[in-house]
Structure 1
Amino acid sequence: MTNAAWFVLIGTLLIMMGLRFQILQRFNLTSSLVYLIIGIVLGPTVLGAFHFNPLEQAHFLEVLAELAVLLSVFIAGMKMPVPFRWQEWRAPARLAFISMTISVALTAAFGYYLLALPLGAAILLGGILAPTDPVLATAVQSRHMGDQDPLRFTLTSEAGMNDGSAFPFVVLGLAMLSAPPSYGLLGDWILEDVLWSTVWALVVGLVIGHLLARVVWKQRFFSRDGLLLDDFLGLGLIGLVYGVCLLVEAWGFLGVFVAAVSLRQSELTLAGLSEVTEDAEAAPEAPAPPEEPALQQSGHVSEGSLVFKEPLERLSELVLVLLLGGMLFLDSWSFRAVGLALVLFAVIRPVSVYIGLLGSGTPFRLQMLIGWFGVRGIGSIYYLMFAIVFGLGEELALEFIHLTLVVVVLSIIIHGLTVKPMMSRWW
């Protein structure tokens, strides 16, 4: 396809989704499903107008998916309605860490015993496919800031955290492919890749998110006429937190999600303090303050930055899912790949959710819906490209591309077609 054809295609898709045609609503078609259908029709499966080779373009696709995930985990964190308190975060934390580990173990067992993969490769496959996706699961995630719906809150917070909690298993799988398993390797992995990287991601996110909230609050409190660029502040927070996490070898996705929650909740706390201070200091004869300029945001970086970042997230979804359709061939649909996807959706995900939430007090209906809506997507593509760029052998890389693409595509189709009927009937 020529550049002109790509501009026409993407422009038409953006207008079509912006107009929200009734036919899309009537057939319960999610945006990801629409992009996927168009990508498959234009790709090698039908017309062959373009073909995107993920093995040759692994580095480009890794960067593109990395940026998309960073935007999505940041947006997910901004929408969290409560601060970090164990009572509210108990279920999401169990899902992101306990259920994640169980899902990796069950997927690895499937890969080792049924797909005849080496143990390290089986664990790597589990790490790639276990995390749920914050990019493609927008239909079941929090719709706005402060959304109190327990299902949407749980799925959104889980997706925001488990893109970071899956990384240790990807690293373990790659390590076991390059060196024989040993107690030393496992001990180093637990200390460095699990404890160190997770704790520092939490610390970096909490501290930097809170510090930015305080800096912005002081500047706006003491300089009322100063305009701040909320979109720059939000992007700067993503870059700063992610960069610091990489420097200290912490999990950047988890750090960015925590920073977004910390920023949002700190802003709400400081806003309450600001209101109290203003009421105490205001004199009865004080003149009313002049109206703020039209460009001034609401006073919260979190609210102002979402106006800019949510369209970026939608655009990244469009591009990545179109490319995904252009990676598939007719012979991609093997029994191995389809069988893995169905077992993952119908067995591994529900079982891992049920075990992870035992004793949490989560209602069974909520557990059932959480167990079904384990959407796989751009996070899995990022981990796959990360492994390929890291040095995964070509034979395994081709096998993993085949398995991962089919799992992600079937997730878009099956979860995309069932989300609205199930949400309306059961929730």
Structure 2
Amino acid sequence: MMEEAVWFVLVGVLLIFMAVASGLITRLPLTGAMIYLAVGVVVGPACLGLVRVDLAGHAWPLSVIAEAGLVISLFSVGMHLRVRLRDRLWHLPLRLGVLAMALTATLMAVFAWAIGEPPGVALFLAAALSPTDPVLANELRVREAGDDEPVRFALSGEGGLNDGAALPFALVGLALCGAQVGRVQSAGALLVSLLWGMAGALLIGTVLAVLCVRVIFNLRTRYGETVGLDGFIALGLMSVTYGAAELAHAYAFVAVFAAGVALRHEELRATGDRRPAEALENVHLSEHAEVAKDPRRAHAWLAESMTGFTLEIERLAEFSLLLLIGCMVSAHWQDMLQWRPLLYACVLIFIARPVAVFAAMAGSTANGQQRRLMAWVGIRGVGTFYYAVWGIDQAGDVLRAVLPVALDAIVLSVILHGATAGYAMSHYFQRKDTVNTG
């Protein structure tokens, strides 16, 4: 009972501190992810010992928790990308989220194999290290729905795409490790799985989101029903989309991201060039029900309500998962200090990521400064953690060595990218303003 009470106090104090000190944190080379990670280390086995359970021995529940956090984040990111699908701006996240991710995975797999890892372990390790996570550095993500700044849009879209795009590499790695993976039985089956995985995910996510929005819109504007509980609708759509994609053997992470994008695109189609904040700027608290039923503003209201809700639970998911990761770091810090995990993390951040981004961006509309910035700030986080614990759950001790590598990559990335992202983005915008006014 005493430990339970301590946990309540600790979590409560930390939440209140983050709310009160948010302004100060944004002015310092700090992020919430750094603080959560540090607190997790302190409460873990290496310091206070409030967490004594070997979390690595509970890979399945950890993978489910990380999976849920990713679903929320991917849907939230998708709902922030308010740009028409035919806009050339989408080429940037596609280059980063698919091509740069595949190049990163290839480079890391070749390096891991070259220094002695078995092929399956090398490939799965590369897949786990490849996804990025812009949620952990707020400076890197779009500010609001309609933010079309190229770097922020590209990095946000990348984080929405590459968690799912890394799955084929992970599945092949598991198969080579001897794990029973139903979707990888031959080269032909893998190709079909890859094509259907992406196409099916985009189709399922889009159809379910459009259907949901149109049903809710008609119920509200014609009959005055289903007003309120937009958060329930958001959670329901995430869950149904993810589950349907899993049942259809499509890439469920991509499906959830596609659902967020499609839902926002429905709002964009209805609202037009005006941002939703402008369409709703004069709405008073007492008018919420009327606005939700107004055909001219119902789409904007639904989209903004769902976006606000998912953003809040996304922050809670980040809080919970970074505390968990910090506890894992506290338990495995000795393994993390071995030369091999540290070398992998350094090669990923300082070599593989920059090389892959510059190669993927060749011939794109991004200028040199934008390419350098994107090459540096590929932050690793929940996606890498998910793949590491999921791999252990699927293959057991064969992939146990992936965990310290993943933790090293996350810690190094959260610290380096978190401390420099604000300065890098500020310098980028200063140069951009100088060029525009020059």
The answer (yes or no) to whether the contact 1:83–1:262 under 8 Å persists in 2 is no
| Separation of aligned partners in 2, 1:22 and 1:154 | 26
Partner of residue 404, structure 1: 406
TM-score normalised according to structure 1 size: 0.89
More helix per residue? 2
The residue type paired with residue 215 of structure 1 is V
Deviations 1:252-301 (A, max 9, x none): 1100111111111112313459xxxxxxxxxxxxxxxxx74569656232
| Separation of aligned partners in 2, 1:223 and 1:75 | 29
Question: Aligned-pair distance for 1:225?
Answer: 6.9
Comparing 369-378 with 332-341, greater Cα deviation is found at 332-341
Q: Secondary structure of the equivalent of 2:328? A: coil
Question: Aligned-pair distance for 1:21?
Answer: 5.6
| Separation of aligned partners in 2, 1:37 and 1:351 | 30
Question: Aligned-pair distance for 1:308?
Answer: 2.0
Partner of residue 117, structure 1: 117
Partner of residue 257, structure 2: 257
Question: Aligned-pair distance for 1:97?
Answer: 1.3
Q: Secondary structure of the equivalent of 1:235? A: helix
Partner of residue 417, structure 1: 419
Deviations 1:36-75 (A, max 9, x none): 1122222233333324533211111111101100000000
Describe the shift of the 1:17–1:164 C-alpha distance in structure 2 as closer, same or farther (beyond 3 A). same
Question: Aligned-pair distance for 1:398?
Answer: 2.4
- Asked if residue 334 in structure 1 is aligned to residue 338 in structure 2, the reply is yes
Q: Secondary structure of the equivalent of 2:186? A: helix
Describe the shift of the 1:129–1:221 C-alpha distance in structure 2 as closer, same or farther (beyond 3 A). same
| Separation of aligned partners in 2, 1:303 and 1:372 | 31
Partner of residue 29, structure 1: 30
Deviations 1:132-170 (A, max 9, x none): 014423331112111122111110011001111111111
Partner of residue 175, structure 1: 175
RMSD (CA atoms): 2.2
- Aligned pairs (5 A) from 1:373-384: 373-384=377-388
Partner of residue 285, structure 1: none
Q: Structure 2: where are the runs of 5+ without partners? A: 274-285, 430-438
Q: Secondary structure of the equivalent of 1:327? A: helix
The answer (yes or no) to whether the contact 2:45–2:52 under 8 Å persists in 1 is yes
Partner of residue 244, structure 1: 244
Comparing 396-405 with 165-174, greater Cα deviation is found at 396-405
Question: Aligned-pair distance for 1:345?
Answer: 0.7
Q: Structure 1: where are the runs of 5+ without partners? A: 274-290
| Separation of aligned partners in 2, 1:216 and 1:269 | 16
Partner of residue 354, structure 2: 350
| Separation of aligned partners in 1, 2:289 and 2:197 | 43
- Aligned pairs (5 A) from 1:18-417: 18-20=19-21, 24-85=25-86, 87-114=88-115, 116-178=116-178, 185-192=186-193, 194-224=194-224, 227-271=227-271, 292-293=287-288, 297=292, 299=298, 300-328=301-329, 329-331=332-334, 332-390=336-394, 392-394=395-397, 396-417=398-419
Question: Aligned-pair distance for 1:28?
Answer: 1.8
The answer (yes or no) to whether the contact 1:80–1:145 under 8 Å persists in 2 is yes
TM-score normalised according to structure 2 size: 0.87
| Separation of aligned partners in 2, 1:67 and 1:217 | 27
Sequence identity percentage: 36
Comparing 46-55 with 304-313, greater Cα deviation is found at 46-55
Deviations 1:177-225 (A, max 9, x none): 2289xx9722221211x11111100111111111222212222321347
Question: Aligned-pair distance for 1:319?
Answer: 1.5
Q: Secondary structure of the equivalent of 2:159? A: helix
Partner of residue 10, structure 2: 9
Question: Aligned-pair distance for 1:358?
Answer: 1.0
The answer (yes or no) to whether the contact 2:41–2:326 under 8 Å persists in 1 is yes
The residue type paired with residue 126 of structure 1 is A
The answer (yes or no) to whether the contact 1:123–1:173 under 8 Å persists in 2 is yes
The size of the alignment, in residue pairs, is 404
| Separation of aligned partners in 1, 2:223 and 2:134 | 37
Partner of residue 279, structure 2: none
Q: Secondary structure of the equivalent of 1:122? A: helix
| Separation of aligned partners in 1, 2:23 and 2:242 | 40
Q: Secondary structure of the equivalent of 1:2? A: helix
Question: Aligned-pair distance for 1:93?
Answer: 0.8
